[in-house]
Amino acid sequence: MTTQGYISTKGFEEFLEKIVEAGRDVDEAAAIALIEGCEVLKEGMQQRVPKDSWNLHDHIQIDGPHQEGNYIYAEVGVIHKKQFTDAETARYGNSQEYGTSSMPAQPYIRPTLAEDKRKARKAMRESLIESGTL
């Protein structure tokens, strides 16, 4: 089981149109802005994750940005891919998020998405403005 969240770029159309008008690379600007938003989410997860051994804290990472056609995305969290974390740590992260029959949940991903989504969008918007893209 994985936890996924989605941050919409709805409302960014005006920014992206200005990027095109300025003759800039929309994909590059969007990727940079996406990473800024991911950094906010990563910090939020690291603040909320249980810190018994700090193992989960140290495994919260960003994978991306990746692009498929016009779709640019990244993953944030305890990423179950060989280059990021081992299977045992990924399972432990999932157990912390959802709990088990013998352990209550100590969620850190879902609260971050719920509470920091606006901060992430703000960071993305500011990235587009501050980078001189707009």
* 107-130 pLDDT tens trace: 999 999 999 999 999 999 898 887
Instruction: Please give the full DSSP string across the chain, using - where no structure is assigned.
Output: ---------TT-HHHHHHHHHTT--HHHHHHHHHHHHHHHHHHHHHHHS--SSSHHHHHEEEEEEEEETTEEEEEEEE--STTT--HHHHHHHHHHHH-BTTB----SHHHHHHHHHHHHHHHHHHHHHHTT--
Give per-residue pLDDT as tens, 51-78. 888 989 999 999 999 988 878 889 898 8
Task: Tell me what pLDDT residue 47 has.
Answer: 96
